[in-house]
Chain A
Amino acid sequence: MPESLNAVIDALPYLLAGSAVTLIVVVGAMCLGLCLGVPLAVGQLYGQPAIRRAIGVYVWFFRGIPLLVLLFLFYFGLCTALDINLSAFTVAIIVLGLISSAYQSQIFRGAILSLPEGQLKAARALGMSDRRAIASIILPQALRLSVPGWSNEYSIILKDSAVAYALGVPEIMARAHFVATRTYQQLPLYLAAGVIFLVLTYLGTKGLRVLEEKVRIPGYSPQGG
């Protein structure tokens, strides 16, 4: 047992450096997903029929194809075919971000739909254009309601990011695997990797809880109190 413990302790700095990579991938993907997800949700709800259909196809595409297939498709397929030189790390962020944008758009769409219809009416009655009303009235409320959904999305992307190992991104899983095969200490190292993921999940969801509380509208409860 001490030998396996030593293996983990020796590998720990190396694994923690991997968790920094993992976190950058996850945060990057979530930000990309947010930036794309908001316009996707707005377009799907308020856009012209052609736009709605296009967004529907986009969401279907990125929710319907397995992550591993998309990673290979983009990294080995598209980048090669189009002769684009992107690192595996960048491709992992982009692909996870695109997938996340599809899921996040549905989180936002649900949040927008849950707002009372009167909010938009009141904004229009004041003379706001629809664009202005969405930016000033609808989104600030919808984004607040989306925080619990993000918490879920965060833990999913975090776990999905381990698949980036297949492209050789030096994240937690790739590093654990590397050390495990060198030292033959598979059990302790994969356990260590699992524990790191658990800790990151805990910290992230905890952080989002704090955010949720911070942006909560005073006197307002989701139950409509």
Chain B
Amino acid sequence: MTTPVLRIENLSKRYGSRAVLTGASFSVNKGDLKILIGPSGAGKSTLLQCINFLVQPDEGRIWLDGEEVRPGHRRALCTYRQKVGMIFQDFNLFDHLNALENVRIGLVRVKGIARDEAGERAVRELTRVGLRDHLQKYPAQLSGGQKQRVSIARALAMDPKVMLLDEPTSALDPELIGEVHSVIREMGQGGMTMIMATHQIGFARSLASEIIFMEDGRIVEQGAPDRIFCHAENARTREFCSKITELYGETR
């Protein structure tokens, strides 16, 4: 048996008396694309943010490549976060930096790579996401889809072992979703390990290696896409899947 790239065990988070995440456990193998689905407020975003400790979980353990993460140790945490790419719903590009600088800054300031070399790498990553002609543009001069692709390039430049994508297309105009999806699809084909929260059910179904259905901070059911969408064991999973399929259309 190979070691999973990422394993989480019993991840939990409460805000006061409200449990937003309860006992989430799963493991992700190399090249997997796990897709988190579930209603808003189900804890998908909290789960993703707990995985790289942007939200501090109250309980739970995480292993990356078989090595347990020590979030209390500042340096270890920074090193771990370098290996876990994060894509946000609202992009969170650094507003004062142009596309090239957005991708380069992590390489220079975190990895300590020389500026020129980092710049070349940044150009390569931006070319890969189809933004070769927009290197000098600032976030405010880019469309939503372009911004999200810059943020993907920014994460990829760090050579992450796993990528977390928190509803990467939710803030986009429908016609811009495709360009981001195709970049994500290419990442998957390149063997990137990913965990992604999304409402784009067609996309999820065609690409996911596994679907995780969450509700009220709990993982209700996980399994292969066809099983979750067609033969879910849990009644609530079935109900959600049929509703969302109706809303967001066909299987792809």
Residues of A within 8 A of B (CB): 116, 118-119, 121-129, 132, 136-137, 140-141, 144, 217-221, 225
Contact = CB atoms under 8 A, between A and B. Distances in A.
A121 B154 CA distance: 14
B81 interface: yes
Contacts, number: 82
A140 B94 CA distance: 10
Given A127-B106, A132-B110, A217-B138, 13 more contacts: A116-B92, A121-B88, A122-B86, A122-B151, A126-B106, A126-B110, A126-B154, A127-B79, A128-B78, A136-B109, A137-B105, A218-B98, A218-B137
Contacts of A221: 140
B141 A218 contact: yes
Interface string B175-202: 0000000000000000000000000000
Given A118-B88, A217-B138, A220-B138, A125 B94 contact: no
A119 B95 CA distance: 8
A126 B81 CA distance: 6
B90 interface: yes
A119 B106 contact: no
Chain A, interface SS category: helix
B24 interface: no
Interface of B: 52, 54, 74, 78-82, 84-86, 88, 90-96, 98, 105-106, 109-110, 137-141, 151, 154-155, 158
A125 B79 contact: no
Contact of A128 (B85, B109, B138): B109
A213 to B, nearest CB: 15
B86 A125 contact: yes
Contacts of B110: 126-128, 132
A114 B189 CA distance: 40
A220 B139 CA distance: 8
Contacts of B85: 125
A127 B80 CA distance: 7
Contact of A125 (B52, B90, B93, B105): B52
